[in-house]
Structure 1
């Protein structure tokens, strides 16, 4: 291993830049060139066929067989002109990554390329081989992928990719996309009646999303020399370097040359795929970066984020780099998340979270703002469960990541607005001479945009014209948490609308009825609002007083899925059935168990087969040196103390690893997956991981650098 480390470091020193050339100086010349979207359909299809397709996309209309055949023919012609030979249904199973099975256009029987509507609309993958939570037995293999026309078809890696949903033979959703699409419809249906309290012209509400993606980049050879990164996605051992992120000099600094080349290439390829990436920069931790796109409709944004991660991984290989999407690949440094910027947009062009000069629109803004706060308040544990994973547990509450406590940040201005509205409906704020607001029944002047600071420690923050859900993990498929957010907001909007109607039925004027309901909701949800430092111990204590949950471990956070109210919530909005909720709960528990098992095994393997032998060899050298010093009559006290110190760490590692293995063997006999997951959390991860790591990391400081088997943090993080 030590030799492998040295060879890897030599390879890094010999790396050369990979040249990157854009197809054109103007991005607009090639943006979406690998996408068969509405523009391409309009040009390729007969007007009546295009009308049916656009109707299916905009209104969810049916696509008949003849229409599908004509669309398939046009797609085939377009794809063949691009040099494509294969097609696939591109779907998002509950593994967390994307899946695909490639078929050729070539028909050996006829000797020509064929692509029928039936192949476009539906395929049949093995539904029992993907995580299904007991929905499918091993012998029940049939499942279906079905075309999602609302997300554009694209060419990736010379393959025509058709975005699809993935369902079991019996109809249950086995993917992330199906419930997301249903949740989009749910929030649309719930938001329209509320919007129509203000504007009868509103007929459709679109959920919008912008996903800021954080990630680490290291050299590919260094990655290959770390078995823990290969197997677990994170470094289970590694002492922090003398210089880490404490100087804050990496944040927004000059982008390292090789990383910049990599960024330029994946941006070019992203633009070809219609992914509107627009921002790139260094993040706070060394070796950490971020890419952010423009906002899109939430289904497309989700597809694009999954595609972007796949694209970044492939492009990185060309540059002899490795992208790390794990939420906490390096202990002691910032973790990586996805900052999900979510808002609701009307078909009349109004962002429902955008304050304006209009009194009516500002009352509408406050209505949706308060409704969202109430949704988070009433479903905080469910929202926490939606972001739960073994990887995210390492990140939450550590180094800039928000805590596991779900709270909402509004900023001082909006907090004052809501506090005053709760009491009497009037507010006067002076900020210099440029701001005055009277929040009454008949007139609500402008609320100034961006008139408050941002809070990086908040898991759910209002940031001007959107909510930023910062707690989602870097590796996660955002469809899961965003579907949950859509559902809980849909439920609250339905309740709000019913409550307003009840007030109106009592004889209250509509605006007064709305304000009365808002004041009630504001009063009920005060405990979820927090403006301070989410990292502080004081907040944990305060949150406990407020009755807020602090679920730091995934298996315990997932208990909420057993709640009858949660199952009824998803079922009521036709997003997930009770069986589908239970299946997802089981899948997430199984995934947690397997992740901790893998990390435990990696720790054991590295510790017993690499760290301890290295330490013993070094210890033997020290013993020889100490004996030599003694023979020469020299003071060997320091050498003897070092020998004892090394010996103590070796014994600590060996005893803890062996004890951990014994516990793991016992737990592997447990059949109840919930019991097993919780035990793995407390009896394996919490009981042994830190103890073993502490001893190994101490040895890293003691053992001769030349003999240490693992590439060190300082060697991986400062890539040039």
Structure 2
């Protein structure tokens, strides 16, 4: 039996491998680059490249690739072998420092938002030494950034690293004010909980909507869904357990800290949660996790669905982004300690987050904006589209006492007693959990629950890091000039609470009264859809933040605006065309065939005995005929809206037309199709039903 500790990280060129294979001088130089951002010398790169190549070949690798994260939302890789011709006709295996540091993939075929024309093909990948190289299959994968020939960032990693540097700069300024001169760097860390669905592959292959779009575009509600709450944390089915066991082994080999696994609320829905790690590494690991989930699922006769809302009427899938800030010494700056009201440093960082989320709530919403996530937000345990912060009773009371200059009367730690002597007593946490809150404090971190299941976590963390960096910059500018640090700090925190307490909400985010209060009384933004929110990325305050913190240039920012809206439009047009195709070629013929059988049955009965009423057959044929007429009409209306869509001139106009017209026609087409499913004999229905998909895995 293999022990996890024996093979964990066995496919990663991690610190253990570097210590063993690099000279002490090269290792120390590389560590300085990783930990402190020191310039990388080419001689060091050559030594690392040779050691990396030898290690990879020893582990069966024949190729290497610069593994990067373009603006498609998935990863990209171009494989090159290590072989180099030798004079005697043989080959030798070589890999240089220059090949490690830089690659040149074609940049013209990736989304660029106008930054690159098709004929401007050259792009560059640059090694990210802060994220370990790893082996996938027979290929050494080197995590890299990706930019154009002119130097514009064409990926998600580059702005993420920029945002981490921005927060580090400003956090160190704050820590110096508190006398923490020994801290060398501040890093954000993330633990993204990944939700997903598993369905039977044979059933999946019979549904073109799942194949083309990742979600079901048709499907009547099954007799049983998640009403009984019997799937959540329930016993894991054997097929799923085998998948999870295989998945864990693959992830652990790659050094991915897969920790928790369980059934989620919806039937066929599950979750994997890792241990926290540095944000850029967590981002790399999550991209790998999604890819490996799908590969492992295929080996088990399953398909892993990562769409945010693959099934209507049951929980969608999110990616809860658990975010915190720590020093290089391992001190969590968001840990309240035993007496949070006396912990001034904690209170400053807490207030910085509150200010950041309130000032840039629109950017946080934009960071999770996709066509799929629009379907998920605001229902079945997904947070609403209105951004707010949950703090819990104790921290709320601390902030109120600070705002009002009143003594904090904290509640003593409560021992939970369950009324059974044999059960242990335990201390109650200082906060509850609020599953309807988009941004909840959960003890020593914030859980940003709005991120969609298929999303890269890079976008959310870029905006979060940048906004908090800006809050810390404002605080540092003020406090560094203050004649009396303590009184200035207290006044600054007090003002922050007064000005930004509108963003704090500890109640039910699904309550209609909250929607009214949030928008009308508190003035919070409410952007239900991607076309509603994405244009605000170009608002002056947002441009000033992201360019001022050097996260994006203005052209890079405009490119992302174009790309997000373009992806939204393309995704929904694919869905609309798929709906038309399925309705015309599968659903209408199935209903017609069943109606024909009923008509023949009624006719045969009449031949036997004219007194037989055939009431069921006649009534059912009448209903089915009416539904086919309605479906045919709705198909034509959807087609017309798709034709009209072509007359829009800008991506902003196109996305708004899709939101207001195309999606409406899609919903209207689905209604009669789903109704027809409920009254059509199963043998005629052309693809697996919700009941079969959700309960088909044993």
Is 1:517 matched with 2:492?
A: yes
Deviation at 1:98, TM superposition (A): 0.3
- Work out whether residues 449 and 465 of structure 1, in 8 Å CA contact, stay in contact via their aligned partners in 2: no
Taking the TM superposition and a 5 Å limit, the aligned residue runs for 1:257-276 are 257-276=238-257
Query: Residues 671-713 of structure 1: CA distance to partner in whole angstroms, max 9, x if unpaired?
Result: 311100111111101x212211111111111110111101011
- Work out whether residues 12 and 135 of structure 2, in 8 Å CA contact, stay in contact via their aligned partners in 1: yes
Query: Residues 501-558 of structure 1: CA distance to partner in whole angstroms, max 9, x if unpaired?
Result: 45x23xxx32222121111111111221111111122221221222122211101110
Measure the CA separation in 2 of the matches of 1:541 and 1:357: 37
Taking the TM superposition and a 5 Å limit, the aligned residue runs for 1:166-185 are 166-185=146-165
Is 1:403 matched with 2:403?
A: no
Taking the TM superposition and a 5 Å limit, the aligned residue runs for 1:633-712 are 633-685=611-663, 687-712=664-689
Taking the TM superposition and a 5 Å limit, the aligned residue runs for 1:105-504 are 105-110=82-87, 111-201=91-181, 202-357=183-338, 362-431=343-412, 450-501=429-480, 504=482
Describe the shift of the 1:392–1:433 C-alpha distance in structure 2 as closer, same or farther (beyond 3 A).
closer
| Other-structure match for 1:12 | none
Tell me, what secondary structure is at the counterpart of 1:368? helix
Describe the shift of the 1:133–1:109 C-alpha distance in structure 2 as closer, same or farther (beyond 3 A).
farther
| Other-structure match for 1:442 | none
| Other-structure match for 1:47 | 24
Deviation at 1:624, TM superposition (A): 2.6
| Other-structure match for 2:565 | 589
- In structure 2, stretches of 5+ residues that fail to align are 417-426
- Work out whether residues 355 and 449 of structure 1, in 8 Å CA contact, stay in contact via their aligned partners in 2: no
- Work out whether residues 415 and 428 of structure 2, in 8 Å CA contact, stay in contact via their aligned partners in 1: no
CA RMSD of aligned residues (A): 1.7
Measure the CA separation in 2 of the matches of 1:358 and 1:331: 45
- In structure 1, stretches of 5+ residues that fail to align are 1-21, 436-447
Measure the CA separation in 2 of the matches of 1:82 and 1:339: 34
- Work out whether residues 355 and 361 of structure 1, in 8 Å CA contact, stay in contact via their aligned partners in 2: no
Measure the CA separation in 1 of the matches of 2:347 and 2:285: 31
Q: Which moved more, 1:27-36 or 1:493-502?
A: 493-502
Measure the CA separation in 2 of the matches of 1:689 and 1:539: 29
Measure the CA separation in 1 of the matches of 2:326 and 2:66: 30
| Other-structure match for 1:75 | 52
Deviation at 1:306, TM superposition (A): 0.4
2:550 maps to which of 553, 570, 574: 574
Measure the CA separation in 2 of the matches of 1:650 and 1:534: 40
Is 1:564 matched with 2:543?
A: no
Deviation at 1:297, TM superposition (A): 0.7
Measure the CA separation in 2 of the matches of 1:57 and 1:141: 31
Deviation at 1:197, TM superposition (A): 2.4
Q: Which moved more, 1:646-655 or 1:271-280?
A: 646-655
Tell me, what secondary structure is at the counterpart of 2:525? coil
Deviation at 1:434, TM superposition (A): 7.5
Deviation at 1:638, TM superposition (A): 3.6
* TM-score scaled by length of structure 2: 0.95
2:524 maps to which of 548, 553, 568: 548
| Other-structure match for 1:33 | 10
- Work out whether residues 449 and 464 of structure 1, in 8 Å CA contact, stay in contact via their aligned partners in 2: no
| Other-structure match for 2:421 | none
| Other-structure match for 1:714 | 691
Q: Which moved more, 1:42-51 or 1:289-298?
A: 42-51
Measure the CA separation in 1 of the matches of 2:201 and 2:340: 56
Describe the shift of the 1:243–1:358 C-alpha distance in structure 2 as closer, same or farther (beyond 3 A).
closer
- Work out whether residues 198 and 361 of structure 1, in 8 Å CA contact, stay in contact via their aligned partners in 2: no
| Other-structure match for 2:423 | none
Describe the shift of the 1:179–1:316 C-alpha distance in structure 2 as closer, same or farther (beyond 3 A).
same
| Other-structure match for 1:5 | none
Q: Which moved more, 1:603-612 or 1:669-678?
A: 669-678
1:64 maps to which of 31, 41, 63: 41
Deviation at 1:414, TM superposition (A): 1.3
Describe the shift of the 1:449–1:465 C-alpha distance in structure 2 as closer, same or farther (beyond 3 A).
farther
| Other-structure match for 2:510 | 535
Measure the CA separation in 2 of the matches of 1:357 and 1:677: 50
- Work out whether residues 413 and 428 of structure 2, in 8 Å CA contact, stay in contact via their aligned partners in 1: no
- Work out whether residues 472 and 478 of structure 1, in 8 Å CA contact, stay in contact via their aligned partners in 2: yes
Measure the CA separation in 2 of the matches of 1:476 and 1:569: 23
- Work out whether residues 282 and 288 of structure 1, in 8 Å CA contact, stay in contact via their aligned partners in 2: yes
Measure the CA separation in 2 of the matches of 1:366 and 1:551: 30
| Other-structure match for 2:596 | 620
Deviation at 1:629, TM superposition (A): 4.6
Query: Residues 60-108 of structure 1: CA distance to partner in whole angstroms, max 9, x if unpaired?
Result: 1222222211111111111111111011000000000000001111123
Tell me, what secondary structure is at the counterpart of 2:75? coil
- Work out whether residues 211 and 305 of structure 1, in 8 Å CA contact, stay in contact via their aligned partners in 2: yes
Measure the CA separation in 1 of the matches of 2:59 and 2:179: 46
Measure the CA separation in 2 of the matches of 1:526 and 1:228: 44
Describe the shift of the 1:294–1:711 C-alpha distance in structure 2 as closer, same or farther (beyond 3 A).
same
| Other-structure match for 2:69 | 92
- Work out whether residues 262 and 315 of structure 1, in 8 Å CA contact, stay in contact via their aligned partners in 2: yes
Measure the CA separation in 1 of the matches of 2:413 and 2:317: 38
Tell me, what secondary structure is at the counterpart of 1:196? helix
Tell me, what secondary structure is at the counterpart of 1:328? coil
Describe the shift of the 1:553–1:357 C-alpha distance in structure 2 as closer, same or farther (beyond 3 A).
closer
Tell me, what secondary structure is at the counterpart of 2:109? coil
Describe the shift of the 1:272–1:184 C-alpha distance in structure 2 as closer, same or farther (beyond 3 A).
same
Describe the shift of the 1:433–1:185 C-alpha distance in structure 2 as closer, same or farther (beyond 3 A).
closer
Deviation at 1:349, TM superposition (A): 2.5
Q: Which moved more, 1:250-259 or 1:199-208?
A: 199-208
- Work out whether residues 153 and 556 of structure 2, in 8 Å CA contact, stay in contact via their aligned partners in 1: yes
